[in-house]
Amino acid sequence: MCVAWPGTVISCEDGSAVVDFSGNRVTARTGLVDVAPGDKVLVHAGCVLQKMREEEAEEMKKLFEALGDV
């Protein structure tokens, strides 16, 4: 099972986006989802799979952090 951590799109160009994951920046393909800088996204296998609302992203981060405390 894979778990995706929410990231923030920093920039977009030519079918790819630079996405920031808590200070780690990766390049992901955007062919499946239209994104813009500032969007919160989930990335898997180098592709942006989904945009999400800010509230969803923060809630997901809190849940993962709580699981780490178990």
Q: Enter the pTM of the model.
A: 0.85
Say whether 3 sits in a helix, a strand or coil.
Answer: coil
d(CA 28, CA 68): 26
Work out the average pLDDT over 28-32.
Answer: 92
pLDDT, tens only, 7-24 = 999 999 999 999 999 899
Reply yes or no on whether the pLDDT at 36 is more than 80: yes
Domain ranges across the chain = 7-68
d(CA 32, CA 1): 21
Higher pLDDT, 67 or 11: 11
Reply yes or no on whether the pLDDT at 70 is more than 60: no
d(CA 53, CA 18): 18
Top CATH class of 7-68 equals mainly beta
43 phi/psi in degrees, rounded to 5: -125, 135
Reply yes or no on whether the pLDDT at 1 is more than 60: no
Token pair in block for residue 64: 């993962």
Mean pLDDT of the residues in the chain? 90
